[in-house]
Amino acid sequence: MARTMALIDQILPEIKRLPGAAGRPVVTLSYAQSLDGSIAARRGFPLQISGTGSAQLTHQLRAVHDAILVGIGTVLADDPHLTVRHAQGKDPQPVVLDSQLRFPLGAKLLRERSPWIATTSRADGNKAYSLTAAGAILLTMPADPIGRVHLPSLLARLCELGIESLMVEGGAAVISSFLRQQLVDFVVLTIAPIFVGGLPATEDIAGQNAVQSAASPLPDNAFPRLQDLGIAQLGDDLIVWGKPDWPGLQSG
């Protein structure tokens, strides 16, 4: 635990110094992956990748953020609490991306908390009523071109609701969407010393599959890198943190 707190003492000041972007919370992306970049063996089946120290670090990070965001896939697969159980501090407000309102009425988040569920006007009205009656707060947002919640609009709404800092934990579609849209201000990544060969954490970050071909690959500088890099070992895991240096944006 002492090593975990020492890492928090290194990472937290960097998060607090982040200016973020006007009209939205500061966004920290944090998740655990294997050496080969997997976050699960296969979609829909959770896999405990990181060790005890890394789990404590994750909960310490949760405690210093106003809200925590996951996708509906994580809720369906893991049925998470999204609380601060392995550290001291206040539980963050849970936010779930669920454009079609697949949120189960028996989920722990709904039994124990009052989750904010970000959805769209295309969602089923009867399910919306049931979720609201069970204690959820629905945030109806514009849809993006593929029918998912429009993330910039959601972040603006969270800012209006008083959320100044947001921790994004996943799953893969959520991680990729936040990175692709350059909506991440800080990254804390846990790398566990294991090969899984399963579900990758990220996909098509630079949009190359949509606009590029093998004959015209993207240049190396099209992909975001972490700057002000920090690296430390925690138990058997490697913790990497830093600020994304977005292509096309001024670093600093």
Total domains present in the chain: 1
pLDDT of 218 reads 54
pTM of the model: 0.90
Contact 232, 10 (CB under 8 A): yes
User: What three-state secondary structure class fits 34?
Assistant: strand
pLDDT of 250 reads 45
Contact 174, 118 (CB under 8 A): no
Does any domain span residue 191? yes
Six token digits for residue 11: 């990472």
Crossing angle for the helix pair 2-16 and 52-63, to the nearest 10 degrees:
40
pLDDT of 210 reads 46
Start-to-end CA distance of the chain, whole Å, equals 33
Does any domain span residue 214? no
Does any domain span residue 18? yes
Does any domain span residue 215? no
Return all residues near 16 (Cβ < 8 A) that are at least 6 apart.
Answer: none
pLDDT of 84 reads 93
C-alpha closest to that of 46 among 168, 169, 186: 169
Partners of 92 in beta bridges: none
State the Rg of the chain over Cα: 18
CATH number of the domain enclosing 20: 3.40.430.10
Does any domain span residue 252? no
Does any domain span residue 216? no
pLDDT of 231 reads 96
pLDDT of 211 reads 45
Q: What's the pLDDT tens digit per position in 140-175? A: 999 999 999 999 999 999 999 999 999 999 889 999
Positions of the chain with pLDDT under 50: 210-214, 250-252
pLDDT of 78 reads 92
C-alpha to C-alpha distance for 244 and 226, rounded to whole angstroms: 5
137 sits in which H/E element: strand 137-141
Domain containing 109: what range?
2-209+221-245
